[in-house]
Amino acid sequence: MTATTEPTGTTEAPQQWQPPKHFGVILASLMVAMLLASLDQTIFSTALPTIVGELDGLEHMAWVTTAYTLAATIGMPAYGKLGDLIGHKKVFVFGIVVFLVGWVVAGSAGSMGVLIAGRALQGLGGGGLMITSQAILAVLVPAQQRAKYTAPLGAVFGISSVAGPLIGGWLTDAHSWRWALWLNLPLGLLALAAAIWGIRLPAVREKVRLDVLGITTLAVAVTATILVASWGGQQYAWTSPTILALAAVAVLGWVGFVLAERRAADPVMPLDIFANKTFVFGTGIALVGIGIGSFAVIGYLPTYLQMAYGVSATASGLLMLPMVAALILTTMGTGLLIARTGHYRTVVIAGVVVTGLGTWSLSLLDAQSPLWMPVACTVVIGLGVGALMQNLLLVVQDQFGTHRSGAVTSAFNFFREIGATLGLAVVGSIFAGRLTTGLANSLGDAVSQLPSDVSSLTPAIVRALPEALQQSVTTAYADALLPIFGWTALLFVAALALAWLLPDRALSSGDGSQLGPGPKRGRFPTRSRTETGTVPNSVPDRIGDGSQLGPGPNRGRFPTRSRTESGTVPNSVPDRIGDGSQLGPGPNRGRFPTEAPKICPRFPPESGGSKNRPH
C-alpha cells in the first residue's frame, strides 16, 4: 500500500473574535442614532396636539404621522441595498444628515405644509438610521457574538417609548413644543461626528445599478397599502370608492414590484432571499407576532389606562415602565444566552408563547379589574417581546453573507413595519365600530351628551361627565377593546407554528469553526495558515450567492461553477462531504479545486491500478 504524504504547512488554532478598533465609539454612535429615530416618534406624539393647535391644522393632523411612516417604510429597502453597494458608513452618515435637516425644517415650521415636509424628511432619515445601524453591526460582529450587542440596541426602543412622552410633555408644557424638536439636534451632531471618525468598514467597490423601477413600484404599493390601513374605517368607509380604488392600486403595485424585481439586474429587494426558510419563518414571526400582534396592543394600552382608570397621560406612560424593564431584561438576558450557546430556536419559541399569553390575559380583564392587573399583563408581554425583537433579526441576518446584510436587514424591518401599520389600523377600526355600538346600547338616549364622533372621545371629556354616565362609558370602552386583545392572541398561534418550523442551526461564532452538513453548514474559517500565506479574517461567514473566498487576483471568490471534462460541478456542493470525509488533506482542506483532475483512462477504477493516477 502506498503511503500518503502530507503536504508541508502549518495550521493555526482558530482565533477568537476580537472587537475592531474604536468599537466602543462605533457602538455608542449606533445607539445614539437608534435613540434619535425612536425618540423622534414618541416625543412628537406628545407635542402633536399643541403643534396642531398653534398651526391651525387639525384637518391635516393625520398627515403628520402618515408622512413619516410612508417615507420611513419606502426608504428602508433602498437604504439597505445602497449600503451593500457603496458601503453602510456612507449611507449611515447620509441618513443622519437627512434626519437632522428634517428636524430643523419641522422645528422652524410656520405652517402645516412645512411641518409635514419636515416630517417626511425625518422619516426618510429615520428609516435609514434604523436599517444601517443594524447592518453595520452585522458587518463588524459575527452572529453569535452579535447577540450581546443587539440587546442594547433593542433596549433603546423600550427606553424611548417611555422617556419620549415624558420629555416631550415636559418641554411642551414648560417651554415650547419647538424645544421638544430641537432637543435631538445636539445628539444628532454627536452621532454624526462619532460615525465619521470612528466607523471603519471593509471597502466596497460595487458598480451601482439603481433599481429605479423596483423602487417606484414599491413606493406606489406601500403608499396605497398604508393609506388603506390609515383611512379605512376612519376617514372613509371600507367600501367607499376611495378605499376600493386605493386597494386596487396597492394590488397592482405589489404585482408590478414582484415583476420588476424578477427582471432587475440588481434588485432593491432580492427575491432569492425568500427561498431561505429561516428568513421566511423569522420574518413571518416578526410581521405577525411583533408587528400586528404586539405593537397593536402596546399602541392602544396607554389610552385604555387613561379612559378606564382615569389616570393622566404622564401616569399612563409611567405605568408602562414595568413592561419596558421586562423587555430590557429579556433582551439582554436572551442575547447573552444566545452568545454563549449559539442556538436560538428555543428562545424564539418561548418568546412567542409568553407574548401570546400576556396578550390573551388582557382579554380576561374588565372595567372593575384593579390597576395592577393590566400592568402585570404588560410585564408578561414585555418579557416575550424582549426575547423576539432583536433575536429574530439576528437569526435572519446570519443566513446570508455580510455583503447582503443591508438588503436582508431592510427587508426584515420593512415587513415588520408593514405589520405594525396594518395591526394598528385594523385594531383601531374594529375598536371604533364596537365602541360606537356599545355606547349606543348602554347609554340609550344619554348618548347624545357625548361627541358625535367617538374618535373625539378624550379622557378629559369622560372625566367631566356625571358619575353614572362616566361609569357606563368606561365599561363600554373596556368591553369594546379588551376582547380584541383576545382575538389578537390568535395571531400568536400562527406565530408559534412558524417558530416551530424555524430551523435550529448554530449561529456563526467568528472563531474559525466551519459548518458541515446538518445544523451548522455554511460557516467559513476566520483565519487559516497555508503555504502561500494567510487568509484574512475579514472573510464573511456566509456569502449566500454560491461564491466562496479564496486567493488570487479576484481575491475573495472561487468560481461558483467550474467546467470539467465530465460535466459541470454545481455551486450547491457543500464544503464538506456528508460522510465526514474531507476534500483532500493539508492546509486547503475543505475547499473544492477550481478544476477537477483528469483521470488516466489506462487505470480505470475497476482495475485498481496505481490508485487512478491523474495526468
**What is the end-to-end Cα distance of the chain in Å, rounded?**
20
CA-based angle 74:77:60, to the nearest 5? 15
Q: Determine the Cα–Cα distance for residues 578 and 220; give it in Å rounded to an integer.
A: 47
Residue 452 — very low, low, confident or very high, per pLDDT cuts 50/70/90? low
What is 125-145 written as a DSSP string? HHHHHHHHHHHHHHHHS-HHH
- The per-residue pLDDT for range 215-225, each reduced to its tens digit, is 999 999 988 99
Residue with cell 414571526: 285
Output the pLDDT for position 139. 81
C-alpha separations of 52 from 64, 111, 216, 454 in Å? 9, 9, 32, 20
Give the distance from CA 191 to its chain's centroid: 21
Residue 34 — very low, low, confident or very high, per pLDDT cuts 50/70/90? confident
**Phi then psi for 539, rounded to 5 degrees?**
-65, 130
Q: Determine the Cα–Cα distance for residues 135 and 485; give it in Å rounded to an integer.
A: 34
Residue 376 — very low, low, confident or very high, per pLDDT cuts 50/70/90? very high
Output the pLDDT for position 544. 40
C-alpha cell at 562: 467550474
3-state secondary structure 143-207: HHHHHHHHHHHHHHHHHHHHHHHHHHHHHHHHCCHHHHHHCHHHHHHHHHHHHHHHCCCCCCCCC
Could you give the maximum distance between any two Cα atoms of the chain, in Å?
104
Q: Determine the Cα–Cα distance for residues 433 and 427; give it in Å rounded to an integer.
A: 10
232-238: Cβ within 8 A, 24+ apart: 232/425, 232/429, 233/425, 233/428, 233/429, 233/430, 233/432, 233/433, 234/425, 234/428, 234/429, 234/432, 234/455, 235/62, 238/429
CB 484 within 8 A of CB 431: yes
Residue with cell 401616569: 315
Give the distance from CA 187 to its chain's centroid: 23
- Decide: helix, strand or coil at residue 342: coil
- The per-residue pLDDT for range 108-146, each reduced to its tens digit, is 888 888 888 988 898 888 888 888 888 888 888 877 677
What is the rounded average pLDDT of the residues 64-87?
A: 83
Task: Please give the residue that has the higher pLDDT: either 152 or 97.
Answer: 97
Q: Which H/E stretch holds residue 463?
A: helix 459-463
Task: Please give the residue that has the higher pLDDT: either 257 or 157.
Answer: 257
Residue 515 — very low, low, confident or very high, per pLDDT cuts 50/70/90? very low
Residue with cell 430551523: 503
Closest CA to 509 of 15, 12, 13: 15
Q: Determine the Cα–Cα distance for residues 506 and 248; give it in Å rounded to an integer.
A: 43
CB 359 within 8 A of CB 496: no
The least confident of 15-19, 36-40, 259-263 is: 15-19
Give the distance from CA 238 to its chain's centroid: 29
What is the rounded average pLDDT of the residues 206-214?
A: 78
Closest CA to 63 of 77, 81, 51: 51
Residue 601 — very low, low, confident or very high, per pLDDT cuts 50/70/90? very low
The least confident of 332-346, 402-416, 549-563 is: 549-563
- The per-residue pLDDT for range 541-567, each reduced to its tens digit, is 444 443 444 444 444 444 444 444 344
What is the rounded average pLDDT of the residues 277-281?
A: 91
C-alpha cell at 423: 395591526
Mean pLDDT of the chain: 74
CB 554 within 8 A of CB 545: no
* Residue 5 confidence (pLDDT) above 70: no
Q: Which H/E stretch holds residue 301?
A: helix 295-309
- Decide: helix, strand or coil at residue 399: coil
* Residue 91 confidence (pLDDT) above 50: yes
Output the pLDDT for position 160. 77
Q: Provide the sign of the torsion angle of the four alpha carbons 139, 140, 143, 146, taken in this order.
A: negative
CB 95 within 8 A of CB 79: yes
Output the pLDDT for position 36. 81
C-alpha separations of 533 from 11, 12, 528, 559, 610 in Å? 11, 12, 9, 21, 33
